Structures are given as structure tokens and as C-alpha cells.
Structure 1
Amino acid sequence: MWDSYIRGFRSYLKLERSLSGNSVAAYLSDIDKLVQYYKSINHIPGLNEITTADLKSFLSWLNELGMLASTQARVISGLKAFFTYLILEELITDNPADLIDAPKLSRKLPDTLNIHEINELIDAIDASKPEGMRNKAIIEVLYGCGLRVTELTELKISNLYPQIEFIKVIGKGNKERLVPIGGVALKLLDIYMTQIRVHMKIKKGNEDYIFLNRFGAKLSRISIFNLIKGLAVTIGLKKTISPHTLRHSFATHLIEGGADLRAVQEMLGHSSITTTEIYTHIDRDYLHEVITQFHPRS
């Protein structure tokens, strides 16, 4: 059902919108949910036959299945992108998702860690094990640079500039940004790379990736999640945390310390929805000054 259109949508997301593999997969999953709905009612309409009422019934179906409002909002976003693509390709004339509003979301801030809890996580890592120094460096870089988990797994040696204390990060949509990196993170990276990584047998094609697994291949996202979850259990942490918790803690600690919001958003790789024009290029020296002055592990 709609196979050729979905393949075209996938290409559009990759080539024209330059989305990451994870983002593309999320959009396609949204469309697959709509397909599952139509299969559940034994009615497979043509693309031009889909109505706003159909989509509202689909959302009611998702709600009855117990889907969270935040997940429903993400599905609506995917549907709107799909129908926008179909209009661009002149495959449909009207967008049935135009009048669909996302459910209102409660603004619950994710958990953050204080510096004591972050120190506890790092101290819980057994540095005598081969992966110990690597894992310490991972936590320091996640927290010290505010990276997304995929940005960490994709981090390359060629994008590390220790002389000027910056790293080049490839973010969402393959957008590059320079992020300051503090002395503690640089020190642990140097120990890991010169004392551990240098002795590893590296799998072909993975030579430039900084963080490797025991088979010499790039670390997976799930391995970082498991690392964080495992450390939380080890120290008896009651908060629900993930790699993103360290990124959120990075931003929260800087802002609470008085850092300029624009500088923090630049380092996080965020763009403003309403005031995009004010987030222009910020001088590298100023970014470095912000991280040095306000980050507790600078």
C-alpha cells in the first residue's frame, strides 16, 4: 500500500531535507501507523481520498491505544510532512492534515543531575577495566559539551582540536558546529586515546571514530544508553536518566550560572523558532569564554 509514495518520501527526507537516518526512520514510522490504522478497519483509501475526518479518527484510535500526547504530536508532525511532500509532487491537491492540531502538551522538564551526582556517576566507573577510561571520557564529553548521543557516537578524531579546545560536531540535518571542550574532558580523552585506544585492533572503516567497542567498531547509541542506565543503578540514583539528561544538565548549569542564552543555544545546536535571526554566528573566543567561566568542569 502506497509503497512507491513512501519510498519517494524517504528520498525526499534524505536528499532534500538532509535529515539523519534516525529522523527519517521516525517519519516513516509515523506513516506506518496510519497504514496500520487503515488495515485495522479494512479500508485502504487512495491518497486523494484521505480526509481530515479520517485523520481525526486515526488520532482517536491512537488515543484509545494509550499513546501519549507527546507521541501523538510527533505522529501529526510526520503526517503533515508526508502530505506536504505529496502536494509538492502534485500527487494530491489538498492537504487533509492542515486542520489537524497537535494535542496540548504538559511542559514537564526532564530530570537534571547536579555536579555531585555527575561526579558520582564518573566515580562509579571502574578505571581498571579496559573500557573504564573510555566510559569516563564518554560521560565527561556528554556533559562537558552538551552533545546528543548520536553526535557522541559519530565524533571523529579529525574533528578534535585540542590545541584550541574545540570539537567539531555534526548535528541534526548534517549541520556542523564548533563546541568548546573543557580541560577535564580533554585530559580523559587523551588518556583513553593514547593508553587504551592505541592498542586496539580497529575494524576497517572505523579508524577515525573516537569511541570504539571491544570489537574495534564505532559504539552504538544503545550501548551509551545502557552505560548511563547501568551507572545510575550502581549509585542508587532514583532519577530516570539517559544520555540526554547530561545534555540537559549541561545547558541548565550554564544558564543557572549566568551564561548567555544565545551562546548556550549555539553550543547545543538549537535554532529559534520565533527569533531565528538573532541566533547568528557567535565568535569562537566568546564561546570559549562562556564555557570556561560558567561550566563547573571547565
Structure 2
Amino acid sequence: MEWQSFKKGFKSFLKLEKSLSENSVQAYVRDVEKLVQFLEMKTTPVSLLKAKPQDLRDFIKWITELGMLATTQARIISGIKAFYKYLILEDLLEADPSALLETPKTRRKLPEVLSVHEINLLLDGLDLSKPENTRNKAMLEILYGSGLRVSELVNLKLSDLYLDLEFLKIKGKGNKERLVPVGSSALKYLDIYLENIRKHLDIKKGHEDFIFLNKRGTKLSRVMIFMIIKDLAKAVGISKTISPHTFRHSFATHLIEGGADLRAIQEMLGHESITTTEIYTHLDRDFLKQTITQFHPRS
């Protein structure tokens, strides 16, 4: 019964955040159900929440011995990893037992990237007479202008803004902090949102420091960002499967295509283990700001 309580939320996660088709969603669900059956068949049955890395390795060994193709194994492992990622994102689990599962090598599909024209279509396709679209404009400008992850965007706080320096303080994976330049276009719409929209919201206790809020005065969810982007893409006629990460990937791709320094891009994306104190010795702020100003399409 434990699996049944997770199934609906997991399906929504696959559709919205993984952008999977209905057929793929059903395949992932069946794959997790295979794991459930395997865990229940063990001499001492194990629940999904209490499964250890060795239990998952035993499951992979079992399906390998059944003669499943590498591509099928890869999909099953992908489904299991997605399921445990969902549990962690929903605070139902602290440690991911699937983290070290090795996937059989198959050809990787490159992530979608939007052209500068498509980015402009999205960013210019919002009706700013609606308050929520002023907020959405600021959010998407920051996603594309600074290359943030969706979790970093929804957790961005007023206390993270250094607008006089044109920088954001971002807490990324592993709670590692980095300073990221924010471009002129993003600064412009962020200021409009803060001054004209956010100030008039009835902000709920505990959400006072979060920048991007819903109409109820509480922090936006990651799922809401996905839905905003999907609806906007449909409205402006972009048929590509896109997500918040598409903006991050496009940010990096467009900077690289423009000739930006790869070290600066890695630093801004948070791919290196740096803290706020190390950033001053690793690459100075002026260099990062110059990279955005010189190479970013909307600066």
C-alpha cells in the first residue's frame, strides 16, 4: 500500500518536471512496480522507503539475469532514480539509495536548447498588464540571465540581492554558495516586480524574505514554474519540450557560442566547489560581470 500512496504524486512529477509522455510515465510506473514486487519477494520484505543501495543492486542483478536489454535496464534504472529523486524533493526521504546505481552505457540525448529568437519570443510573449506576468517576466529573465536552477530560483531571497553590485548570492547543490552576475534586463524587470507588485501582496508569515510569491503571499513551488513555462511555450507557438533547465542550458550555450570564457560559465553555473569567500580569489566579480555584459544576448 505504501507504493499506492506515492503513485499519483510520482506521475505528476514525471509529467511536469521530466516532461515525459503518458506512455513513458506508465512505463516508469511499471518499472517501479517491478522493484516493489522484487522487494516484497525478499526473504525479509523491504519497503521502498527503507530500501538500501544493496537492495537496488540486487534488483538490477535480477533483471540482468532475466536477459533484459541494456536499453531496457537503463530505462528501469532511470525510473528508479526518478522515483527516489521525487521522494527526496518531497522531503519523504533524506538519503537517495539509488545515487550510485550504474546505468548501462547507451547514447545520451542532448538537452534541448532554445535559439536567441525563441528565448525572445518567450520573454516578450507575456502580457504585462497582468500582475502575475510581471512576476513571471522577472523570473524568466533571471533564469536565462543568470543560469539558475529552478530550485535556486524559487528559494531566492531578498537578502540574497546585491543590486548595487548587480550580483545574486545563490545557494546551490550541497548548500554551496556562489555569486552570480545579473544582467541589465533581468535587473529592470526584477525592480518593476518588487516595486509595483510584490509590495502590495499580503505576505504570509515565514515567506517574508522569499522574492517570488504567489497571489496568496507564499513562496512559489517548483511545479508552478514548470507549468508557467509550459503554458507560455504553448502560447507563443514553441513546440519543443522545454523546462526551467532549458533556460539554464540555453544561458550556457549562448555564452559559449558568443565566445565567453568557459571558466566563467562553469563558475556561474555552480559546477565547481566554491564558496562566497573563494569566489574573490578564483575569478573576480568584475570578470564575471564583464562576461555577462559582453556575451549575453539580453545585456
Shared fold per TM-score greater than 0.5: yes
Could you tell me how far apart the structure 1 residues matched to 2:56 and 2:76 are?
21
Q: TM-score when scaled to structure 1?
A: 0.71
Q: Which deviations, in whole Å up to 9, do the C-alpha atoms of 1:251-286 show, x marking residues without a partner?
A: 0000111111111011001139xxxxxxx8221111
Residue of structure 2 equivalent to 1:56? 61
The answer on 1:232 being equivalent to 2:233 is: yes
Deviation at 1:76, TM superposition (A): 7.5
What is the RMSD of the two structures over their aligned residues, measured on CA atoms?
3.6
Deviation at 1:53, TM superposition (A): 5.8
Amino acid at match of 1:263: A
SS of the residue aligned with 1:167? strand
Q: Which deviations, in whole Å up to 9, do the C-alpha atoms of 1:78-100 show, x marking residues without a partner?
A: 99xxxxxxxxxxxxxxxxx9x97
Deviation at 1:292, TM superposition (A): 1.0
Deviation at 1:61, TM superposition (A): 7.5
Could you tell me how far apart the structure 2 residues matched to 1:47 and 1:142 are?
36
Residue of structure 2 equivalent to 1:186? 187
The worse-fitting range, judged by mean Cα deviation, of 50-59 and 116-125 is 50-59
- Percent sequence identity over aligned pairs: 56
SS of the residue aligned with 2:131? coil
Q: Which deviations, in whole Å up to 9, do the C-alpha atoms of 1:7-62 show, x marking residues without a partner?
A: xxxxxxxxxxxxxxxxxxxxxxx999855422157763898996966541146779
Kept after mapping to 2: 8 A contact 1:142/1:243: yes
Residue of structure 2 equivalent to 1:8? none
The worse-fitting range, judged by mean Cα deviation, of 31-40 and 131-140 is 31-40
Aligned with 1:72 (options 52, 77, 80): 77
Kept after mapping to 1: 8 A contact 2:143/2:248: yes
Paired positions, count: 244
Q: TM-score when scaled to structure 2?
A: 0.71
Unaligned ranges ≥5, structure 1: 2-29, 80-96, 273-279
Could you tell me how far apart the structure 1 residues matched to 2:186 and 2:147 are?
12
Kept after mapping to 1: 8 A contact 2:39/2:55: no
Q: Which deviations, in whole Å up to 9, do the C-alpha atoms of 1:140-183 show, x marking residues without a partner?
A: 00000000000000000110111111000010111100000001
Amino acid at match of 2:130: K
Residue of structure 1 equivalent to 2:283? 282
SS of the residue aligned with 2:297? coil
Kept after mapping to 1: 8 A contact 2:126/2:137: yes
SS of the residue aligned with 2:288? helix
SS of the residue aligned with 2:282? coil
Amino acid at match of 2:284: D
Kept after mapping to 2: 8 A contact 1:255/1:261: yes
Kept after mapping to 1: 8 A contact 2:126/2:133: yes
The worse-fitting range, judged by mean Cα deviation, of 51-60 and 236-245 is 51-60
Could you tell me how far apart the structure 2 residues matched to 1:48 and 1:230 are?
38
Amino acid at match of 2:244: P
Residue of structure 2 equivalent to 1:21? none
Could you tell me how far apart the structure 2 residues matched to 1:201 and 1:48 are?
45
The worse-fitting range, judged by mean Cα deviation, of 54-63 and 247-256 is 54-63
Kept after mapping to 2: 8 A contact 1:73/1:103: no
Kept after mapping to 1: 8 A contact 2:146/2:182: yes
Q: How does 1:142-153 map to 2 (within 5 A)?
A: 142-153=143-154
Question: Rg: which structure is higher?
Answer: 1
Kept after mapping to 2: 8 A contact 1:37/1:61: no
Could you tell me how far apart the structure 1 residues matched to 2:176 and 2:252 are?
19
Amino acid at match of 1:57: W
Could you tell me how far apart the structure 2 residues matched to 1:247 and 1:133 are?
20
Amino acid at match of 1:294: F
Could you tell me how far apart the structure 2 residues matched to 1:228 and 1:34 are?
33
SS of the residue aligned with 1:177? strand
Amino acid at match of 1:144: G
Amino acid at match of 1:236: G
Amino acid at match of 1:106: R
Could you tell me how far apart the structure 2 residues matched to 1:131 and 1:53 are?
49
Unaligned ranges ≥5, structure 2: 3-30, 85-97, 274-280
SS of the residue aligned with 1:131? helix
Moved over 3 A (4+): 30-36, 40-55, 58-64, 73-79
Kept after mapping to 2: 8 A contact 1:59/1:72: no
The answer on 1:134 being equivalent to 2:135 is: yes
CA gap of 1:226–1:41, structure 2 versus 1, over 3 A, is same
SS of the residue aligned with 2:272? coil
Could you tell me how far apart the structure 1 residues matched to 2:209 and 2:197 are?
15
Kept after mapping to 1: 8 A contact 2:150/2:222: yes
Residue of structure 1 equivalent to 2:162? 161
Amino acid at match of 2:117: H
